[in-house]
Amino acid sequence: MTDAVVLIIGNEILAGYTQDTNSAFLARALRARGVRLLEVRTIADVRQTIVDAVRVAAARVGEGGWVFTCGGIGPTPDDLTRQSVAEAFGRPLVRFAEAVRMMEMYRGGPVSEMAQKMADLPEGSLLLANPTGGAPGFQIERVVVLPGIPQAMEAIVQPVLDSIQAPTIHTQERLTRLFESVLTPAFEDFVASYPELDLGSYPQTKGVKGTLIRVSATDALRLQQGWDWLMAQVDALEGSSAADAC
């Protein structure tokens, strides 16, 4: 299975001034493409923190995985992601003339020297166009560096997402009126028998109260086998619960 990590970068997120929506967008988009998101981490605009986080994330997902960073690629002093990613890969920052041309084209004229700082990217990066006219994104190996503004992030990352080819993640789910405390023994047996399947249970407190059960896997046949076994246990527990209520 292909893995990914998302790094949300920004003091404004940690301070509660801005609500992160980028991680939810990426989580849904990656899941739809068969990519398992291992972690979403929010970190400060601190250079060494970003360097360390990028290195750790890249090592965790491995050669076939993906790391996405959001935020900190603007021209102001607190925007440190471009420099930090360059350091993480041991590469110098160089000005990409094509990035400057992109910004000029989208803005309809020359851009200031301050704005051109957003075109200073790690040497050897793959430039990712920003159709909204702001800071371009870039990619080094499987690390994709994106702006924090949701509209720009979503526009820039779309071609990268469309290029990802990973096995489909199949999912089965069911809402039962049983509570997790009743289901736990069956869940424990399920995890022991089907460790390769991803089991999640989620208490429901609005509308029909109970538990939403969700199981996912890339192996559709194995998923069906495990699901059938688990649903037989749930059916038996529901029957027992109904009998006890009589």
DSSP output for 64-125: T-EEEEES--SSSTT--HHHHHHHHTT--EEE-HHHHHHHHHHHTS---HHHHGGGEEETTP
Q: What's the pLDDT at 241?
A: 67
Show which of 137, 163, 189 is a domain's final residue: 163
Percent of the chain residues topping a pLDDT of 90? 86
For 90-133, how does the pLDDT look when each residue is reduced to its tens digit (9 = 90+)? 999 999 999 999 889 888 889 899 989 999 999 999 999 998 88
| Residues 77 and 197 reside in one and the same domain | no
Q: What's the pLDDT at 245?
A: 43
Residue 141 and residue 137: Cα distance in Å, rounded? 13
Phi/psi of residue 233, nearest 5 degrees: -70, -40
| Residues 121 and 176 reside in one and the same domain | no
Query: Structure tokens of 11?
Result: 């003091």
**Cross-strand pairs, 216:** 171, 198
Mean pLDDT for the chain? 94
Percent of the chain residues topping a pLDDT of 70? 98
| Residues 219 and 201 reside in one and the same domain | yes
Show which of 148, 163, 178 is a domain's final residue: 163
Q: Give the number of domains in the chain.
A: 2
Show which of 163, 186, 207 is a domain's final residue: 163
Residue 178 and residue 116: Cα distance in Å, rounded? 59
Cβ atoms within 10 Å of 243's Cβ, excluding its own: 8
| Residues 153 and 177 reside in one and the same domain | no
| Residues 13 and 125 reside in one and the same domain | yes
> What's the rounded mean pLDDT across residues 68-92?
96
Q: How far is CA 1 from the centre of its chain?
A: 15
Q: What's the pLDDT at 84?
A: 98
pLDDT above 90 for 201? yes
| Residues 193 and 229 reside in one and the same domain | yes
| Residues 93 and 77 reside in one and the same domain | yes
Q: What's the pLDDT at 243?
A: 45
| Residues 58 and 94 reside in one and the same domain | yes
Q: What's the pLDDT at 132?
A: 85
Q: What's 22's domain CATH number?
A: 3.40.980.10
Distance (Å) of CA 112 to CA 115, 123, 124, 223: 5, 22, 24, 56
Q: What's the pLDDT at 99?
A: 92
| Residues 33 and 71 reside in one and the same domain | yes
The count of C-alpha atoms lying within 13 angstroms of the C-alpha of 109, restricted to the half-sphere facing its C-beta, is 1
Q: What's 234's domain CATH number?
A: 3.30.70.1130
Range of the domain at 239: 170-245
| Residues 142 and 176 reside in one and the same domain | no
| Residues 73 and 142 reside in one and the same domain | yes
For 11-63, how does the pLDDT look when each residue is reduced to its tens digit (9 = 90+)? 999 999 999 999 999 999 999 999 999 999 999 999 999 999 999 999 999 99
| Residues 182 and 142 reside in one and the same domain | no
